[in-house]
Amino acid sequence: MLSVGLTHFLVISVVLFSLGIYAVITRKNAVMVLMGIELILNSANINFVAFARYGDFGLQGQIIALFVIVLAAAEAAIALAIVLNIYKTISNINVDEIDTLRD
C-alpha cells in the first residue's frame, strides 16, 4: 500500500521550487516574477511543514511557515509598490527593460 511519506512532500516542494525558479528567471512580466517568488516561498513552506510533521520538532515548522506567509504578504506589498513606481517611471514592467543598475 502506497502511503504518503516525507518524500512525496519533498518532491512536490522541489517541483514547486523549480517552477518558481523557472518563472522568476524566464518571465518578462515583473508581476509574473513576483508570482514565481511566491511559488518558491510556498515550496519552502511545504518543506517546513513536512519536516515538522515527520520530524521531532513540535510546532516550530508550522509557526515558521506562518511567519513566511506573513513575510510573503509584506514582500508582495512592497514589491508591488516598487513595480507600480517603475511603471510610473518608464510605463513598462518588462524586467528586461529595467537594467539601469548596469550603468
Q: Which of 2, 3, 91, 99 binds other proteins (CB under 8 A)?
A: 99
Q: Is 27 exposed, middle or buried (0-12, 13-18, 19+ CB in 10 A)?
A: middle
Half-sphere exposure of 93 (CA within 13 A, CB side): 16
With respect to other proteins, which residue has the nearer C-beta, 24 or 76?
24
Q: Is position 21 an interface residue for other proteins (rule: CB under 8 A)?
A: yes
Q: How far apart are CA 42 and CA 23, in angstroms?
A: 14
Contact region with other proteins (CB under 8 A), list: 1-9, 45-53, 55-63, 92-100: 92-100
- Count the site residues for other proteins by CB under 8 A: 13
Q: How far apart are CA 45 and CA 68, in angstroms?
A: 7
List residues near other proteins by CB under 8 A: 21, 24-26, 33, 95-96, 98-103
